[in-house]
C-alpha cells in the first residue's frame, strides 16, 4: 500500500511537472516548490541535528574543560559565522566583520585540502594517463587511441594558452601553426562539450523513462484493480 500511494503521488507530481509544456502555471510552480522546499527543509533538519548531536550535546554534557574547549571553539566560530548573514546596514551588520574570522579559516582549510588533493589526485595521475596509451608494445588501435588522447589534450591546453597578439585597429595576427593548433583544440573542445551535452540528455531521458515506467506500473495496477 505505501508503494502504491507513493506511485500515485509520484504520478500526480510528474504530471504536474509535465504541465509546464503548456506554459507556466500554478501546478508546475507548486510541484517545483514542493521539491525545493522538501530538499531545503530536510537539509536544514539534518544540519541542525548534526550540530546538535555532534557538538552542542557533547559540549554541554562534557565536564572536562579541555574537552569542552574542543567543542566550544568550533561552536564559537560557527556562531560568528552566523553574523555574516546580517545585512551591513543594520546594527548587527556592523559586527558582521567578526564572521570573517571563521570564514577565513574555512577558505584557508578548503584551499589547502583542495590544492593538495588536486595535485596528487588529479594533476599527476592525469598527466601520467595522457601518455599512457602511447606504448611501443601496444596495438595499432591502442596506439592510435593514445595518440588521439595526447593530441587532443595538448591542443585544448594550447587553445587557452596561446592568445593572438593585439594589433592596432583590432587586428589580430597569428601564425599558421598557431591558427591550426587553435582550430584543432577548438574541435576537440566542441566534441567534449557535445559529449557532455549528450550525457545530460541521457540522464534526463533516463529519468523520464523511469518515471513513465512507474506510471506504466501504476496504470497496470489500476487496470488490474478495476478489472477485479
Partner 1 sequence: MIRCPTCGMLNQDNSKSCSNCGTILPQTKVRCPECGTLNSVGNLLCDNCNARLIQPEGIIPSNLPTESDNRAEGSPVKGISLPTRATANDSDVPHAGEDELPDWLSGLTEDSEEFSETAGSPAEEPGDDEADSSSGHPDWLSGLLDENADFGAADEPDEAEHKTEDELTFESDALPDWFVGEAAPDNEPTPDSADDSLYELPDWLLATADTSDTPAEASETPDLPDWLTALSEATPTETPVDSELPEWLAEAQAPITDADTNIVLDAETQPATPEPPIQPSAEPQLSADLPDWLSAVDDSEESSNIELPDWLREPAETPVPDLSAQPHGDAAGASEEEIAVSTAEEAAPREAVVSEVGEVAPTDTPERPAISPASPEPQPADLPAWLAGLEVSTTAPGGVAIFADDNKRPEKLTAQSEENPSQLEDIKPTTEASQYEPAEPPLIQGDTGIDWEEKLTFSEDTPAEIPDWLRGLDISEPKEPQAPSGIFGENMPAPAELPNWLQELRPQSSPATLFGVSNEPVNADIPDWLQALRPEPGEASGAAARLAGLPTPAEPEGPLQGVPGVLQAAALIDAPAGVKTVAKTAMPESVIAQAQLWQSLLERPRSAERPVSQAQPPNEAAVTLIRLLVAAIFILGSLGAFLLLPEGLRLATALPAQVAPGAPALIEGLDALQPGDRVIVAVEYGMAYAEEMSQIAMPVLQQLTAQQAEITIVSTLPEGAALGAALTAEAELLAAEAEVQPGPAQLDGGYLAGNASGISAFLSQPDAQAAHHILVLASRPERLRWWIEQVQLAYGSAPTPVSLSVGVSASAGPIVAPYLRTLQIQGWLVGLPDALAYRELRGVEDVNSAARTLDVLMLAHWAAGGLLVIGLLVSLVAGKKGARQSHA
Among the candidate windows 64-72, 94-102, 110-118, 134-142, which touches partner 1 by CB under 8 A? 110-118
CA distances 173 to 42, 178, 179, Å, are: 56, 10, 10
Burial class (CB within 10 angstroms; exposed 0-12, middle 13-18, buried 19+) of 118: exposed
Least distance in angstroms from the C-beta of 177 to partner 1: 26
At residue 222, φ and ψ (nearest 5 deg) are: -65, -40
Q: Closest Cα partner for 31 from 9, 7, 4?
A: 9
Interaction of residue 110 with partner 1, rule CB under 8 A: yes
Please identify, using beta-carbon distances, which residue of 45 and 164 lies nearer to partner 1: 45
114: contact with partner 1 by CB under 8 A: yes
**3-state DSSP helix/strand/coil percent for the chain, to nearest 5?**
85, 0, 15
Question: Cβ closer to partner 1: 39 or 180?
Answer: 39
211 binds partner 1 per the rule CB under 8 A? yes
- 202 part of the interface to partner 1, by CB under 8 A: yes
Q: With CB under 8 A, what is the number of residues at the site for partner 1?
A: 56
Degrees (nearest 5) of the Cα angle 37, 215, 24?
45
* DSSP three-state, residue 134: coil
Is 121 one of the binding residues for partner 1 (CB under 8 A)? yes
Counting Cα atoms < 13 Å in the Cβ hemisphere of 92 gives 9
CB of 198 to partner 1, least distance (A): 7
| Chosen residue from 89, 140, 141, 226 binding partner 1 by CB under 8 A | 89
Residue 172 sits at φ, ψ, to 5 deg, of -105, 135
Examine residue 169 and tell whether it contacts partner 1 (CB under 8 A). yes
Q: Is the Cβ of residue 97 or residue 114 nearer to partner 1 in the bound state?
A: 114
Instruction: Return residues touching partner 1 (CB under 8 A).
Output: 18, 21-24, 29, 32-33, 35, 38-39, 42-47, 50, 89, 106, 109-110, 113-114, 116-118, 120-122, 125-126, 128-129, 169, 192, 195-196, 198-213, 215-216
Amino acid at each position: 500500500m505505501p508503494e502504491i500511494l507513493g506511485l500515485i503521488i509520484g504520478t500526480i507530481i510528474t504530471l504536474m511537472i509535465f504541465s509546464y509544456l503548456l506554459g507556466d502555471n500554478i501546478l508546475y510552480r507548486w510541484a517545483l516548490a514542493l521539491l525545493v522546499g522538501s530538499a531545503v527543509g530536510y537539509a536544514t533538519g539534518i544540519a541542525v541535528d548534526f550540530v546538535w548531536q555532534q557538538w552542542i550535546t557533547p559540549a554541554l554534557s562534557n565536564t572536562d574543560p579541555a574537552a569542552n574547549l574542543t567543542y566550544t571553539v568550533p561552536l564559537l566560530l560557527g556562531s560568528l559565522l552566523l553574523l555574516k548573514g546580517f545585512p551591513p546596514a543594520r546594527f548587527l551588520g556592523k559586527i558582521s566583520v567578526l564572521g570573517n574570522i571563521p570564514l577565513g579559516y574555512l577558505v584557508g582549510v578548503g584551499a589547502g585540502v583542495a590544492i593538495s588533493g588536486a595535485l596528487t589526485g588529479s594533476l599527476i595521475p592525469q598527466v601520467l594517463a595522457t601518455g599512457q596509451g602511447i606504448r611501443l608494445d601496444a596495438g595499432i588501435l591502442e596506439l592510435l587511441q593514445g595518440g588521439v588522447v595526447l593530441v587532443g589534450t595538448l591542443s585544448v591546453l594550447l587553445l587557452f594558452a596561446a592568445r593572438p597578439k593585439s594589433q592596432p585597429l583590432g587586428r589580430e595576427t597569428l601564425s599558421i601553426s598557431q591558427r591550426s593548433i587553435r582550430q584543432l583544440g577548438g574541435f576537440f573542445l566542441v566534441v567534449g562539450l557535445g559529449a557532455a551535452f549528450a550525457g545530460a540528455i541521457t540522464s534526463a531521458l533516463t529519468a523520464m523513462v523511469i518515471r513513465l515506467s512507474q506510471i506504466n506500473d501504476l496504470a497496470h495496477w489500476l487496470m488490474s484493480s478495476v478489472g477485479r
